[in-house]
Chain A
Amino acid sequence: MRRKGVNYSKFGYIFTFPFVLAFLIFSLYPILYTAFIGFTNLQGLIPKPIHILDNPFQNFKDLLFDNVSFRKSLINTGILWIVNFVPQIALALLLTAWFTNQRLKIKGQGVFKVLLYMPNIITAGTIAVLFSTLFAYPMGPVNSFVELMGWSDTPIFFLQDKTTARGIVAFIQFWMWYGNTMIILIAGVMGINPALFESASIDGANGIQTFFRITLPSLRTILLFTLITSMVGGLTMFDIPQLFLAGGPDDSTLTTSMFIYGQAFKGSYMYNRAAAASMIMFVISAILSGFVFYLMRDRDAAKMKKIEKMHRKSVKSSREGGVAHEQ
């Protein structure tokens, strides 16, 4: 993409300067500082001179090999993420297949999208407290319902049981996010060249064949993107488990973010340990983002080429670009 304006190049620096400055102060410096704290003995409420540990990696070693709670938090984060993501992507794909099927012509899609996406916009904290209240013991709306349906004679203590507590946290996460995933996937399907579907239809492919042979392969990039953003999101899961049961029962819903928060800000002031845990989390998310980076860079290069072409060509091809953008 070649654009005129060599004389103006300094404005490129000026216009991006506020961004860079804010990033250096509020993101880069804190990350480096966190990494540094991870190697030190910084603990306690009252500031005192800190120094780097004799074995700089002591905090990391302790966390990875000796800290049961931290390991549990990593495992929990993984479990909660898988239990929420697999049904989430499955349902989102199913709904996408239904909503984009030209032969079915499902009515009221707009309303369904608005309603299914709705939980995503409401404060996660509010939803967490709401669910813990709905599942109250011995009398709460869910227990009332269970009793009404005659499923159980005695009220169920959902929040005391590890499996149901984890299940509910995963369900909340699923319930808040499948609508979002669905809308993204539908948008992805809209972006597929309609000629592909047309020729499939002419060749006599049915809905299921079309979905598996055309829709799914074309969505590969978007699916991967969804997967990775959801993984990083899952890694930083905090609001819901924190306000739902504060990690209980027996640390079964303790996530990595909650571990960090708990070490540093809930009375023990173990800043060094929390910082080391943050760095481990950072490394994991950096690896995950690495994948996204490659994914996006390739697409962007393709996009650049497309735009170059668009500029060179005349009105006809720029119309194509305009349509593509609206999706």
Chain B
Amino acid sequence: MNNNNSGGVTRRINKTIIYIVCIFLAVLSILPFWIMFVNATRSTAEIQSGLSLLPSSHLMSNLRVLLDKSFDPIQGFMNSFIISSSATLLTVYFSSLAAYGLVTYSWKLRGPFFTFILCVMMIPSQASAIGFYQFMYKIHWTNSFLPLILPAIAAPAVVFFMRQYLLATLSIEIVEAARVDGSGEFKTFNRIILPLMVPAVATQAIFAFVGNWNNLFMPLILLTQKEKYTMPIMVSLLRGDIYKTEFGSIYMGLALTALPLFVVYFLLSRYIIAGVALGGVKE
């Protein structure tokens, strides 16, 4: 493929342009967040006086102003964490289970069930939000985390993904060998199959967790008590009147809500990128 020297100059120019565009886009990705973190350390007066890319020394005073106005990032973090981790556990476990049921056993409704999964994969949660809210209101589950956690048991897209993974990797001989050894079907799944599915489970867990963490619509509808607020709802508080002129503390609040995600992203970015690619190909 590298057999031609002709056009080497044009290629070098092309490559330079490509690198410039890519670097520009990378800067575009970083810059808003950079400004956010820098401005979180600057006083409102400094922010008003102009742009700076270097941090200042008002981190603590911004934090104090922020926390004075009943912004409780620790509580928000805990709430978001409880909801997201519980929902993620339910999603990956029950989706793996359903996918295993789909792949391993031949049962009459297997085909129809898979068709059904494909059909409901793309129903937006907003479409059923009104009925969902009325339902939860009637059984007094508003301001509870349960309606944000339990629906995670049924995650059609994850079942679809897990099914594709099992089809490509699972050999039925393993299951049969386990049966010969006297292992029950549930035990086989929990002890043998689930550990084999770890790569797929990890990918889906990351996306389920981030998706739940970033979810705004449902928590906004269901949670009205301040001590139940999740991180994204707390973000919406920063838009309110109480912070109108306190730019330093607004940036501080934004930085605090984004920080956990940055940490997770830079620890797991390799797996996340690989996961995005895998999800898109749906091989």
Taking CB as reference atom, which chain A residue is nearest B94? A18
Bound form: Cα–Cα A281–B128 in Å: 10
Quick one: which of B4-52 are within 8 Å of A by CB? 11, 14-15, 18-19, 22, 25-26, 28-30, 32-33, 35-36, 39, 47-51
Q: A188-B280, A289-B119 are in contact. Are A136 and B247 (CB under 8 A)?
A: yes
Taking CB as reference atom, which chain B residue is nearest A104? B15
Contacts of B168 on A, CB cut-off 8 Å?
307, 321-322, 325
Determine if B221 and A265 form an interchain contact, defined as CB atoms under 8 angstroms apart: yes
Taking CB as reference atom, which chain A residue is nearest B264? A121
Contacts of B197 on A, CB cut-off 8 Å?
none
Does B100 count as interface, using CB distance less than 8 angstroms?
yes
Bound form: Cα–Cα A238–B236 in Å: 13
Does B65 count as interface, using CB distance less than 8 angstroms?
no
Contacts of A179 on B, CB cut-off 8 Å?
29
Determine if A121 and B94 form an interchain contact, defined as CB atoms under 8 angstroms apart: no
Determine if A125 and B132 form an interchain contact, defined as CB atoms under 8 angstroms apart: no
Quick one: which of A91-150 are within 8 Å of B by CB? 95, 98, 102-104, 106, 108, 110-119, 121-127, 129-134, 136, 139, 141, 144-145, 148
Determine if B131 and A9 form an interchain contact, defined as CB atoms under 8 angstroms apart: no
Does B1 count as interface, using CB distance less than 8 angstroms?
yes
- When each residue 7-28 of chain A gets 1 if its CB lies under 8 Å from chain B and 0 otherwise, what string results? 0111111111011111100110
Bound form: Cα–Cα A238–B279 in Å: 23
Determine if B25 and A116 form an interchain contact, defined as CB atoms under 8 angstroms apart: yes
Which of B113, B214, B250 touches A123 (beta carbons < 8 Å)? B214
Does A169 count as interface, using CB distance less than 8 angstroms?
no
Q: A29-B135, A104-B11, A126-B254 are in contact. Are A23 and B120 (CB under 8 A)?
A: yes
A134 nearest CB across to chain B (Å): 6
Taking CB as reference atom, which chain A residue is nearest B39? A141
Taking CB as reference atom, which chain B residue is nearest A114? B269
Please tell me the number of chain B residues within 8 Å of chain A, measured between CB atoms. 109
Bound form: Cα–Cα A36–B134 in Å: 12
Contacts of B26 on A, CB cut-off 8 Å?
111-112, 115-116
Determine if A238 and B119 form an interchain contact, defined as CB atoms under 8 angstroms apart: no
Taking CB as reference atom, which chain A residue is nearest B221? A265
Determine if A22 and B94 form an interchain contact, defined as CB atoms under 8 angstroms apart: yes
Determine if B51 and A325 form an interchain contact, defined as CB atoms under 8 angstroms apart: no
Does A75 count as interface, using CB distance less than 8 angstroms?
no
Determine if B119 and A187 form an interchain contact, defined as CB atoms under 8 angstroms apart: no
Determine if B265 and A121 form an interchain contact, defined as CB atoms under 8 angstroms apart: yes
Determine if A119 and B122 form an interchain contact, defined as CB atoms under 8 angstroms apart: no
Determine if B258 and A27 form an interchain contact, defined as CB atoms under 8 angstroms apart: no
Which of B119, B185, B217, B220 touches A11 (beta carbons < 8 Å)? B185
Does B57 count as interface, using CB distance less than 8 angstroms?
no
Contacts of B66 on A, CB cut-off 8 Å?
none
Bound form: Cα–Cα A154–B270 in Å: 45
Contacts of B25 on A, CB cut-off 8 Å?
95, 112, 115-116
Q: A11-B101, A27-B123, A117-B272 are in contact. Are A125 and B235 (CB under 8 A)?
A: yes
Q: A116-B26, A118-B265, A289-B121 are in contact. Are A18 and B97 (CB under 8 A)?
A: yes
Contacts of B33 on A, CB cut-off 8 Å?
118, 122, 130
Task: List 24 A-B pairs, Cβ < 8 Å.
Answer: A3-B104, A9-B105, A12-B110, A16-B101, A16-B102, A26-B132, A26-B150, A27-B123, A29-B131, A31-B131, A108-B22, A110-B270, A122-B214, A122-B258, A125-B257, A126-B254, A148-B50, A183-B276, A183-B277, A187-B278, A260-B129, A261-B217, A278-B127, A327-B283
A3-B105, A307-B167 are known contacts; what are 12 more A-B pairs with Cβ within 8 Å? A11-B101, A16-B101, A23-B120, A111-B26, A112-B22, A123-B232, A185-B280, A275-B131, A278-B128, A278-B130, A324-B283, A327-B281
Closest 10 CB pairs of A and B: A15-B101, A184-B280, A33-B131, A12-B107, A34-B131, A187-B277, A22-B153, A12-B105, A26-B151, A30-B132
Binding site for B on A (CB under 8 A): 1-6, 8-16, 18-23, 26-27, 29-37, 42, 95, 98, 102-104, 106, 108, 110-119, 121-127, 129-134, 136, 139, 141, 144-145, 148, 175, 179-180, 183-188, 190-191, 201, 222, 225-226, 228-229, 232, 235-236, 238-239, 242-243, 246, 257, 260-261, 264-265, 271, 274-275, 278-279, 281-282, 285-286, 288-289, 292-293, 296-297, 299-300, 303, 307, 321-322, 324-325, 327
